[in-house]
Amino acid sequence: MKMVIEQSKMANSAKDFTYQAPFPITVKCRKCKNPARLIMLVDDDIGELVAQRPRNVKVWPHDCSAIAIYLCTNCGSMRATWNQG
């Protein structure tokens, strides 16, 4: 599992750490509607999350997945999005 927190690497990593379209660098904060910036990327490049699936869950990664975490630097709200291979 790889993780990127270096802000200087986010733009390139947002393209590399994904299994589908690149993650946006900013998304709209659901709380205050200001831009929330990409603060952390997690790339489960070897599918470690797949093996952690709890019993009786409806949705869980079933392949290598990538998670993008956003922080609104105006109100402190966080949101995340993800995709998988």
Binding site for Zn ion (CB under 5 A): 29, 31-32, 34, 72, 74-75, 77
Question: What is the rounded distance in angstroms from the CA atom of residue 80 to the CA atom of residue 85?
Answer: 17
Question: What is the rounded distance in angstroms from the CA atom of residue 65 to the CA atom of residue 46?
Answer: 9
In degrees and rounded to multiples of 5, residue 19 shows phi and psi of -105, 0
Nearest distance in Å: CB 73, Zn ion: 8
Nearest distance in Å: CB 70, Zn ion: 10
Nearest distance in Å: CB 26, Zn ion: 11
- 34 or 81: whose CB is closer to Zn ion? 34
